[in-house]
Amino acid sequence: MEQTVLQFPNIDPVIFSIGPFAVRWYALSYIAGLILGWRYCVFLCRRSPRFMEPKALDDLLVYATFGVVLGGRVGYVLFYNPAYYFDNPAQIFQVWQGGMAFHGGMLGTVLGLVIFALRRGINPLAVGDMVAAAAPIGLFFGRIANFINGELFGRVTDAPWAMVFPNGGPLPRHPSQLYEAALEGLLLFSILAWLIWRTDIRRYPGAVGGLFLAGYGCARFTVEFFREPDAQLGYLFAGATMGQLLSLPMILAGLAIALWARRRPAISEGA
């Protein structure tokens, strides 16, 4: 019996263009994630003064934006396709063509946040907790943009919700971008929000950030079983993908940070 598959929505990656200038869903997803994440951070600061003064968030948005974009691009170049970009260095700067790595973006963001916090005299762990709580918003929009672009698709499957992607050959595949949007975005955001508003985790700087790292690492590691490995890398050590190998240290580091934070003396809510 012939397998029934879902129709892939062929949405034009370009929203509109004016001459050589084109607005793409990929770029819009980053803008939406940064702005909505920033507004959530403002909400957190107003409801919980422990994080930081809301007026300082304008500068924080600048640091986070540079960290995400520069770190994400450098991470993709170094982790996923160094040979190609070293042979074609001019394309390193063509970010609008796609090619961003979350793990690199995370490292870039952490560096930017540390610099921001030290310059402002704010506890870097508190800043990290706030940004970690909002980060799944950007992850959700980023994965939706990956789906619209028809990139980072999943492995071949006979699941009834499988799709034939334009760049994935004739066989139906997992819509792994949507799995990631659900796990890394919606689920992780919900868990962190529940912990922030229903428990005393805010009193332990570093705990939210640590749980975000561990939570993202677990979600990404799981989805990699359904996602097609990058063609230029394939399967690596013991059949693991690059995404899984990069996620393992995130899980371990995140759990260590969260446990360390919980063992430290709690701070007062108004601190």
Annotated domain spans of the chain: 18-263
Q: Distance between CA atoms of 190 and 38, rounded to whole angstroms?
A: 17
**pTM of the predicted structure, to 2 decimals:** 0.85
**pLDDT tens-digit profile of 125-142?**
988 999 999 999 999 999
Tokens of 238: 């013991």
Residue 143, marked binder? yes
pLDDT band at 263 (very low <50, low <70, confident <90, very high): very high
Residues 74-127 pLDDT 10s:
877 777 777 777 877 777 776 656 667 777 778 888 888 889 888 888 889 988
- Degrees, nearest 5: CA angle 195-200-202: 80
**Helices marked H in 199-241:** 207-223
More confident residue, 179 or 108: 179
pLDDT single digits (tens) 23-36: 888 888 888 988 89
